[in-house]
Structure 1
Amino acid sequence: MPSLRGPRAVPSAPERPHPRRIGIVDLGSNTARLVVFACEPGLWYSIEDQIREVVRLAEGFGTSSHLTDSSIDRAVTALKLICDFAGAADLDRLQVIGTSALREADNRGRFLADIAALDLDLWVLSGTEEAQLGVDAVANSLAFNDAWVVDLGGGSVQASRMTDRTFEAGGAHPLGMVRLTEAYLRSDPPTAAEVATLEAAVAKRLSSWAKKVRRDPAPLVGMGGSLRNLARAVQKQIGYPIDLIHGYFLRLIDLEVLTELLLNRTAAERAEIPGIRSDRADVIAAAALVFRWRLRKTRRDGLVVSGHGMREGAFHRHFLPAPDYRIPDVRRFSVESRLARYPVPHVHTEHVRRLAGLLFDGLMPLHRLGPREKELLDAAAALHDIGVAVDFYHHYRHGAYLLSSKPLHGFSHREQVLLTLMVRHHEKGKPQTKGYEMLLHSGDKKLLRRLTACLRLAEYLERSRAGRIQSLEVEIGTETVRLHLHSREKPTVELRETYKEAAPLFEDAFRRRLELVPEPLTLPAGRV
């Protein structure tokens, strides 16, 4: 007869330190943008808020290097607004980053005098420093060791080489979209002669860079608000199935179509194109031409879009230890930091991860998958319960939404789709790939079924959330897969629920009948 006992005392979770809130202001040549990062340094960070104002500091830079009265007024007004917000929000740190317009302006002193009363922590970047911060952002958010990095702003473009996740070389060139538009695209829409003149100006500055890239197979990564805008417009045009920009591969063939569309419309008409911001519509054609030229001349079929840029590079200097400011493993950090943000049952989660890993290893003769797929399964096992942060009921749906609505750094969009579907079906249902065909590879349906089957098995073998099944061994027969389950006590609920909820998917995925064999846990001599 079971004993009747009162509720067990539940140990309280260790008190977490209060997150720091750091504001980074990109005082760019086109916009001033504050991004507020909440973080526990070295553990996790998340964007909490932002303020964006169009300032057009580079107005007039097509013919001079003089900040106009109106651009100074707009920038000062924007900074006052940002300071008011920062004071009310009680940020722990506010840093303002100045880029090419401030770097090159011959009347910068007047602007600095106008904002002196704000007592800002202002860092005006050199061209090399701006390029380096872009590389820092790529190294900490994409899983590339080597890359060519291009950052297009309103006043300049930065071109850099990243080697072994370290800035090797790079600098800034006066080819920003505001400057190029003013200097060359004076008609609306621009004429063919104006387009040719702009491309000749770009070639004069960047031809030697393009030759180096042609000889080097490292991926091409682009960043900047204009590129994100172009990528968003392409995604709208082609019906891209997920709402993510970071890590998106923008194909030259799609950019060619969009560029011709932009060149044949007025600024007012461009603003009506889905995905194009109205406050960029007058300069977005120049941005498209710059990136089209780069892809054509480097003979690449596309580039990877980074949603992170100079702002994130600057933030990392407050978040990560000096001197390199690097996240050791981008994919692992992204999973663990996401996990740290949600109130999931961590002991249960870690046990599911361990069981899923044992199942993957034991079933290797059947699935013949490699370490990349095992890492994908582990990520799904780690994040399978994050939907509980929304509500227990339908938490598998909530978890899938949370995964699909924010990039998981270092994972491709294909991998993020697979992760989303695995989490969506970790308890029930048969995973389907309908709607995601343009992102998936041949064979991904089978891969998805098999990884989801392993995840669901691990979940139900830990059904009581008591860690009953301490280890397991896989025995593969011609018609059956037998799991030898080692536990201190008979795992009654685990056996029943696994046969009922997990066995059907497993048997469909692996074409073997599942048998569960509970066995007593054998302890080393002298231990009880």
Structure 2
Amino acid sequence: MIGQCIGIIDIGSGSVRLVVYERTDNGGHRVVDGSKRSTRLSGRMDESGALPLGDIAELIDTLQHFKLICSHHGITQIRTVATAAIRNAANRDQILDEIHRETGLFIELLSGEDEAAYGFLGMINSLQADNGYLIDIGGGSTEVSLFMDRELVHSVSFPFGCVSLNKKFDSKDGLMDDALKSIESIVMAAVKENLWIGELPGLPLVGVGGTVRALGKVHQAAVDYPFRQTHNYIIEKNGVDELYHAMRAMPLDRRRKLPGLSKDRADVIIPGVAILRAVFRAARAKHYRICGAGLRDGLFHSTRFPDQPKLADPLAFSLKNISSLHNEAPTQHVMQVNRLALNLLEALEATIELPPEARTILHVASLLHRIGASIDYYDYAPHSFYLIVHSQLNGLTHREIVMTAAIASFRGKGKARTQTAPYRVLVSEADLDLVGKLGLLLQLAAALDRSETQRIGDLLITIDGTRLLLAPLAPLGSLAVERREVGELAAEFRKHWLLEPVLEG
């Protein structure tokens, strides 16, 4: 990578997008700028299949604007790709020549297979998903893939998308049954040419791209869902069917007022979801799962990490990234608390049955419990809660993210109940009990390194009746501060674990 920022420009069939990624001095990555212009290129082709000169000039103007944004960030590396609209245009060579002559940008013309591969890379690097079908509904094409054991097995690009089908079957006044059947026939005819679609029933259909993200936002608004992210949001078949039939019966002006739906997508969402539902049925999928990452994220990873763009562990990567962006807490102290917390959990798991996700969320919470200090050291706990809930913790469900935030900022079960109250549709009473247990475990681990000097190396943990005996082996100095902190925590710890921690030695 040249410089500290990368610009990714995606010339899609429905819109042209710029995303600016920054690499921080601590090795973290974040999006620092972006822009989008709706173009509907697939709907602007003339009868010969060519993009008119006026529309080429408008596209060039957009790209010049994006270059200006990139120059403000000091970007010298701009990766620009084009997908179905230009790929299928009768005058694509003229388009590419004009763009290069006027902007200096070299355009990578992605094939349908390229689109599928980059979309898969963006998805697999942001979700803990082993097996499933993947769909990316663009403006002029639709990519469908099958992945198993986190590897891409099959992929195909269909020559239709939400913009091109909307041009053919105008949904301005709603979509009638005959038009819907025609769209479904087009999709099913394409699917039948790919026998692997539907051979493995019961897998999730993971969706990337604007259509499924818009669907997720509308569904969340309809059910008053409290979590702000559509990434890793699951919708059951009946939920999509009911919402779709309600939307397609609406005239365009009513659809534009739907909570969660942007006005520039109010028309194309109807044919887009028609494609989605048809592929879902053909794949005999279990449910829909929305992924907030996709093509542009895959392009970023392949540009930033060309030798190894695919992540082995999305959660570990996002954890490292968040920690790099909020790094005010002493790293050695955080790692010590993490080690002690997991050691304590391992010892206590023999006394009580805990859910399988307990270790993972305690691990994450212990690494992130001090990130709120980047806002206010003296009151970091509530800020840690906010930052965790609003960060991209890839690999965790929405429920697990809320629980992680509550554990990391735990200051008593009453406060945890208040913090999680807006998310009670996700967090049950049993979950709150687990938050209490793991929150106290994290507090105990932090108390064992209150001096932040890592004086405790090996720690022998035993249970003697109602006492949790903590015996440091060859501590590196006095533990007077830690002993006092453990003592102050003992009564509250006993309420949750029925054990009183005692720091020996």
Q: Same fold (TM over 0.5)?
A: yes
Aligned mates of 1:128, 1:51 — CA distance in 2: 26
Q: Percent same amino acid among aligned pairs? A: 28
Amino acid at match of 2:138: G
Q: Secondary structure at the match of 1:275?
A: coil
Match of 1:127 among 101, 112, 125: 112
- Alpha-carbon spacing, 1:90–1:490, altered in 2? closer, same or farther (3 Å): closer
Residue 45 of structure 2 corresponds to residue 45 of structure 1 = no
Task: Give the conservation status (yes or no) of the 8 Å contact 1:384–1:396.
Answer: yes
1:456 shift after superposition = 1.1
Letter in 1 for 2:483: L
After superposition, give the CA deviation of every residue in 1:460-495 in whole Å (9 maximum; x if it has no partner): 222221223333222224433232244344422222
Residue 213 of structure 1: SS of its match in structure 2? coil
User: Residue in 1 aligned with 2:368?
Assistant: 383
1:486-525 to 2 correspondence within 5 Å?
486=473, 487-500=475-488, 502-512=489-499, 514-519=500-505
Greater mean alpha carbon deviation, residues 445-454 or residues 348-357: 445-454
* Aligned positions, number: 500
Go from structure 1 to structure 2 and tell me whether the alpha carbon gap of 1:165 and 1:292 turns closer, same or farther (over 3 Å shift).
Answer: same
Cα distance change on mapping 1:120 and 1:128 into 2, 3 Å: same
| Match status 1:311 vs 2:296 | yes
**Partners of 1:221 and 1:41 in 2: CA distance:** 34
Aligned-partner residue type, residue 200 of structure 1: S
* CA-to-aligned-CA distance 1:234-280 (integer Å, 9 cap, x gap): 11111112111111112222222221221121222211111101111
Q: Answer yes or no: is the 8 Å Cα contact 2:13–2:138 preserved in 1.
A: yes
Structure 1 residues 71 and 56 mapped into 2: Cα distance closer, same or farther (>3 Å)? farther
Q: Which runs of 5+ in 2 are unaligned?
A: none
Q: Distance in 1 between matches of 2:481 and 2:456?
A: 11
Aligned residues of 1:26 and 1:311 also touching (Cα < 8 A)? yes
For 1:41 and 1:125, locate their aligned partners in 2 and report how far apart those are by CA, in whole Å.
Answer: 32
Instruction: Name 1:136's counterpart in structure 2.
Output: 121
Could you tell which deviates more after superposition, 157-166 or 39-48?
39-48
Unaligned runs of 5+ in 1: 1-16, 520-528
Deviations 1:7-32 (A, max 9, x none): xxxxxxxxxx9972001011100110
Aligned to 2:143: 158
Q: How far off is 1:210 after superposition?
A: 7.9
Structure 2 length normalisation: TM-score?
A: 0.92
Q: Which residue of 1 aligns with 2:5?
A: 21
- Checking the alignment, whether the CA contact within 8 Å between 1:147 and 1:221 is kept in structure 2 is yes
**Alpha carbons 1:32, 1:55 under 8 Å: kept:** yes
Which residue in 2 is equivalent to 1:436? Answer: 423
2: distance between equivalents of 1:276 and 1:453? 42
For residues 193 and 200 of structure 2, the distance between their equivalents in structure 1, rounded to whole angstroms, comes to 11
So what's the TM-score if we normalise by structure 1?
0.88
* Aligned mates of 2:36, 2:458 — CA distance in 1: 53
Query: Are positions 1:451 and 2:451 aligned together?
Result: no
Following the alignment from structure 2 to structure 1, what is the Cα–Cα distance between the partners of residues 432 and 15?
44
Q: Is the 8 A contact 1:485 1:516 kept in 2?
A: no
Question: CA 1:198 to 1:164, structure 2 compared with 1: closer, same or farther past 3 Å?
Answer: same
CA distance in 2 between counterparts of 1:214 and 1:439 reads: 33
Distance in 2, matches of 1:471 and 1:327, equals 32
Partner Cα separation in structure 1 for residue 47 and residue 279 of structure 2:
24
The letter for the 2-side match of 1:203 is M
Within the alignment, does 1:74 sit opposite 2:61 as a pair? no
Deviation at 1:209, TM superposition (A): 4.9
* Matched position secondary structure for 1:367: coil
Q: Describe how 1:177-256 pairs up with structure 2 within 5 A.
A: 177-185=162-170, 188-207=173-192, 209=194, 212-213=197-198, 215-256=200-241
| Contact 1:99–1:130 (8 Å) recurs in 2 | yes
Q: Is the 8 A contact 1:475 1:483 kept in 2?
A: yes
Aligned counterparts of 2:235 and 2:55: Cα–Cα separation in 1 = 33
Is structure 2 residue 347 aligned with structure 1 residue 362? Answer: yes
Aligned partner of residue 434 in structure 1, secondary structure: helix
